[in-house]
Structure 1
Amino acid sequence: MQTEVQSRDVFYVSDGTAITCQTIGHTVLGQFPFSVNQQTFPFIENEDKVEDVVKEIERSYNQSGEKPLVFFSMVIPEAKQRLLTANALFYDVLDTMVNLVEKDLNLEAKPKLQRSHSVGKDHEGYFDRIAAIEYTLAHDDGVSLKGLEEADLILLGVSRSGKTPTSLYMAMQFGLRVVNYPFIDEDIAKLRLLPQFEIHRHKLFGLTIDASRLTEIRSNRLAGSDYASAAQCKTELNSVESLFRREAIPYINTSNMSVEEISTRILERTGLKRRIF
Structure 2
Amino acid sequence: MNDCSVFCVSDHTGVTVEAVAKSVLAQFPRLEFSLITLPFVDSAGKAQAAAARIAAAPRALVFSTLTDPALRAVLRSAGAGLFDVFELLAPAVETALGQSATPSGGRTHGMAPDYEARMDAVNFALSLDDGLSPERLGQADLILVGVSRVGKTPSALYLALQYGLRVANYPLTPDDLVHPVLPGVLLAHLPRLRALTLSAERLAAIRQVRYPDSRYASPQQCREELVAAETLFRRHALPVLDTTRMSVEEIAARLRYP
Q: Considering the TM-score relative to the shorter chain, is it more than 0.5?
A: yes
Query: Paired residue for 2:212?
Result: 223
User: Aligned with 2:9: secondary structure?
Assistant: strand
Query: Paired residue for 1:45?
Result: 42
The Cα of 1:131 is off from its aligned counterpart by: 0.4
Given the alignment of the two structures, is residue 54 of structure 1 paired with residue 51 of structure 2, yes or no?
yes
Give the letter for the 1:52 counterpart.
Answer: A
Query: Paired residue for 2:245?
Result: 256
Structure 2 counterpart of 1:77, from 60, 64, 69: 69
Structure 1 counterpart of 2:183, from 163, 169, 194: 194
User: Aligned with 2:35: secondary structure?
Assistant: strand
Given the alignment of the two structures, is residue 27 of structure 1 paired with residue 19 of structure 2, yes or no?
no
Q: Contact 1:191–1:239 at 8 Å: present in 2 too? A: no
- What is the correspondence of 1:71-150 to structure 2 with a 5 Å cutoff? 71-119=63-111, 122-123=112-113, 125-150=114-139
User: Aligned with 2:135: secondary structure?
Assistant: coil
Q: Distance in 1 between matches of 2:135 and 2:3?
A: 49
Give the letter for the 2:128 counterpart.
Answer: H
Q: 1:97 to 1:251 in 2, by over 3 A?
A: same
User: Aligned with 1:102: secondary structure?
Assistant: helix
Q: Distance in 1 between matches of 2:137 and 2:143?
A: 8
The Cα of 1:191 is off from its aligned counterpart by: 4.1
Q: Distance in 2 between matches of 1:191 and 1:57?
A: 61
Q: Distance in 2 between matches of 1:132 and 1:264?
A: 16
Query: Paired residue for 1:273?
Result: none
Given the alignment of the two structures, is residue 160 of structure 1 paired with residue 149 of structure 2, yes or no?
yes
Equivalenced residue count is 257
- The C-alpha deviation readout for 1:85-107, integer Å capped at 9, x for no partner, is 11311111233321221111211
- What is the correspondence of 1:233-244 to structure 2 with a 5 Å cutoff? 233-244=222-233
Q: Distance in 2 between matches of 1:261 and 1:191?
A: 31
Q: Contact 1:213–1:255 at 8 Å: present in 2 too? A: yes
The Cα of 1:219 is off from its aligned counterpart by: 1.3
Aligned-pair identity in percent equals: 39
Q: 1:51 to 1:89 in 2, by over 3 A?
A: same
TM-score normalised by L of structure 1: 0.89
Q: Contact 1:156–1:181 at 8 Å: present in 2 too? A: yes
* Stretches of structure 2 lacking an aligned partner (at least 5 in a row): none
Displaced runs of 4 or more, over 3 A: none
Structure 2 counterpart of 1:14, from 10, 18, 27: 10
Structure 2 counterpart of 1:204, from 193, 197, 203: 193
Given the alignment of the two structures, is residue 175 of structure 1 paired with residue 171 of structure 2, yes or no?
no
Q: Distance in 2 between matches of 1:247 and 1:6?
A: 51
Give the letter for the 1:147 counterpart.
Answer: R
The Cα of 1:115 is off from its aligned counterpart by: 2.3
Give the letter for the 2:54 counterpart.
Answer: I
Q: Distance in 2 between matches of 1:155 and 1:174?
A: 16
The Cα of 1:75 is off from its aligned counterpart by: 1.2
User: Aligned with 1:190: secondary structure?
Assistant: coil
Q: Contact 2:66–2:86 at 8 Å: present in 1 too? A: no
Give the letter for the 1:19 counterpart.
Answer: V
User: Aligned with 2:57: secondary structure?
Assistant: helix
**RMSD of equivalent CA atoms:** 1.4
Q: Contact 2:67–2:86 at 8 Å: present in 1 too? A: no
Query: Paired residue for 1:275?
Result: none
User: Aligned with 1:146: secondary structure?
Assistant: helix
* Stretches of structure 1 lacking an aligned partner (at least 5 in a row): 270-277
